[in-house]
Amino acid sequence: MKRLRLRPRFLRDVTSRDLSTTLLGRAVDMPIGVSPVGALGLFSPYGDLGAAKAAARFKTCMISSTSSNSTLEDIMKSSPESLKWFQLYVRPDRELTKALVQRVERAGYRALVVTVDVACVGRRYQELRYRFKLPPHLKPLNLGKNVVQDHVRNRGHDPALSWKDVAWLRSICSLPIILKGILTAEDARLAVQHGVDGILVSNHGGRQLDGVPATIEALPEIVQAAGDKLEVYMDGGVRTGTDVLKALALGARAVFVGRPVIWGLCYDGEEGVAKVLNILKEELSLAMALSGCTRLADIVPAMVVRASQYSRM
């Protein structure tokens, strides 16, 4: 983000700003949502429920994690009026995955966000160094008692996951499908060919493959490859309102935040997450005003350039 510079426009009436948009046809009040984060119960007893309630207060989207410490049904019940998507790990046991997807659809979630970048779990040295293990009272409750231990040991991921499974998911539910973890134009074009509804540009918080680009670097080629065939979102590295503005200018329809939500939960549970979302919303509104934008459609690619363009002068 710091390698990008903003090119603001002036002498425009920016008395009022409208941050509202739509995600797959559903209205939200701002283009900032909550990313899926597993085991939010580590950071606050309010966990997933607190994050969901905070997102609902700002009328924005939350993506609930397969690995949440509350059931997907309880998360939906905590704020049934708000937009929620469900992040899905496709497990080797397809019948288990099918049963989970059917629960998601019955509960009222509006999309499946399928994580595609964890064919195998990356070597996460911090987890190894600190010998991290979930406390026994925190379990991924969406999976059922019979598969919890398997999920904790190997995350339940399937190295055989392929594009044919996108078609399979289509065959078992009617929800829109978003692929989380796409980082190249080649895969974006394949996503279009397979009728995917959206892409969430993500590098899994930088914890999977060393050497991949920052998501803001990967975003432009994916937006170009996707064209108007599907919606493109981004998570990773978003810490300020100007970060949001840069991502929107480069073609993201919305951004999602994970670590800031964790910090908010640690600080003050639901209220802490609400403060984080409010800070980002107010910073985005101010950044729009200072850039000459009154609505999201005013934010265009010409507003962002690489810092190196100026350093050569």
CA distances from 309 to 161, 237, 244, 292 (A): 41, 22, 21, 22
Instruction: Provide the 3-class DSSP secondary structure of residue 164.
Output: helix
CA distance 23 to 17: 19
Under DSSP, the state recorded for 295 is B
The pairing of beta strand 177-180 with beta strand 198-201? parallel
CA distance 81 to 79: 6
Residues 6+ apart with CB under 8 A from 282: 241
The structure tokens listed for 260 are: 């800031």
Residues 6+ apart with CB under 8 A from 212: 183, 203, 206, 218
278 alpha-carbon distance from chain centroid = 18
Residue for token pair 């640690």: 266
Residues 6+ apart with CB under 8 A from 297: none
Burial of 15 (0-12, 13-18, 19+ CB in 10 A): exposed
CA distance 279 to 181: 26
Instruction: Provide the 3-class DSSP secondary structure of residue 259.
Output: helix
Is-catalytic flag, 204?
A: yes
Q: Which residues are catalytic?
A: 204
